[in-house]
Amino acid sequence: MTSSTPRRLESGPVDPPGLDDLLRRVARGDETAFATLYDRLAPRVFGLALRIVRDPAQAEEVAQEAFVDMWRTAGRFDPERGSAVSWALTIAHRRAVDRVRAEQATADRARKAAVSDVAYDEVVEAATARFEQQQVRRCLGSLTELQREAVTLAYYRGYTYREVAELLGAALPTIKTRMRDALIRLRDCLGVSFG
């Protein structure tokens, strides 16, 4: 966590070049730049929304809300604090999580049932061959079981750490720590760093 190098996030293999520039143009109201941004990000944004909310119609709504948020707040994107891709995915993830939590409260769905089909299996089985995906899967596989479950239940299912603790029968401080440890391990495994 300590680093004396200049704080510039390396974008990693998944961040297509020029997204920062596109966002700067979007912030000035450039709708053509926004359409390009949409084309580059939509499969990741929609895919994430679908993974979390499960229902395709709702995933479309969530993706649309996320893109409208990006349009509204493009002027507040700060490239010094992170890549454009992670900014966009943060917005989309938050929207999707808000959606499932509202649903959860409505349906008061049986949360215990989710334990048996932990998201990691789906992660492993997702049939794609892209290098980055393999890398993410390999790195998820390097986590301890508790770390992996804590991260996947939160990220792909939208559970709070309290719910995760309840699902996994672990203490709250343990789950908080596992989530952080897991992300640190993933960060090192994926080579996400300051350059």
Partner 1 sequence: MSDIHTLSGAYVLDAVNDIERAAFARHLAECSSCTQEVAELTETAGRLADVSVTAPPVHLRGRVLEEIGRTRQLPPRPAQPTRVARPWRRWAAGAVAAALVLLAVGAGALVEEQRVRDAQRQSVQATAIEDVLSAPDAVLHTVAGPDGQGRVTVVVSQSRDQAVAVLGDLPAPGADRAYQLWMIKDGQTTDKGLLAAGATGGTKLIDGVRGEQRFAITNEPKQGSAAPTTPHPPVNFPLT
User: Distance of CA 176 to CAs 6, 86, 146, 191, Å?
Assistant: 29, 22, 11, 23
Which is nearer to partner 1, 18 or 29 (by Cβ)? Answer: 29
Which is nearer to partner 1, 18 or 35 (by Cβ)? Answer: 35
Q: Per rule CB under 8 A, is residue 144 in the interface with partner 1?
A: no
Here's the x/- map for partner 1, 33-62, by CB under 8 A: it reads as -xx--xx--xxxxxxx-xx----x---x--
Here's the x/- map for partner 1, 77-116, by CB under 8 A: it reads as ----xxx-xx--xx-xxx--xxx-xx-xxx----------
| Nearest one of 63, 73, 60 to 26, comparing CA atoms | 73
Residue 119 identity (one-letter amino acid): A
Residue 100 near residue 134, CB atoms below 8 Å: no
Q: Per rule CB under 8 A, is residue 3 in the interface with partner 1?
A: yes
Q: Which of 6, 17, 31, 112 binds partner 1 (CB under 8 A)?
A: 31
Q: Per rule CB under 8 A, is residue 67 in the interface with partner 1?
A: yes
Q: Which of residues 172-191 bind partner 1 (CB under 8 A)?
A: 173, 175-184, 186-187, 190
Q: Which of 55, 142, 160, 170 binds partner 1 (CB under 8 A)?
A: 160
Paired with 172 in beta bridges are none
SS3 (DSSP) at 169: coil
| Shortest reach from residue 2's CB to partner 1, in Å | 7
Residue 57 CB neighbour total at 10 angstroms = 8
Long-range contacts of 55-58 (CB under 8 A, 24+ apart): 58/99
**Cα-to-chain-centroid distance, residue 193:** 17
Q: Per rule CB under 8 A, is residue 192 in the interface with partner 1?
A: yes
Q: If binding means CB under 8 A, how many residues of this protein chain bind partner 1?
A: 89
Q: Which of 54, 72, 109, 111 binds partner 1 (CB under 8 A)?
A: 72
Q: Per rule CB under 8 A, is residue 138 in the interface with partner 1?
A: no
CA distance linking residue 48 with residue 41, whole number of Å: 11
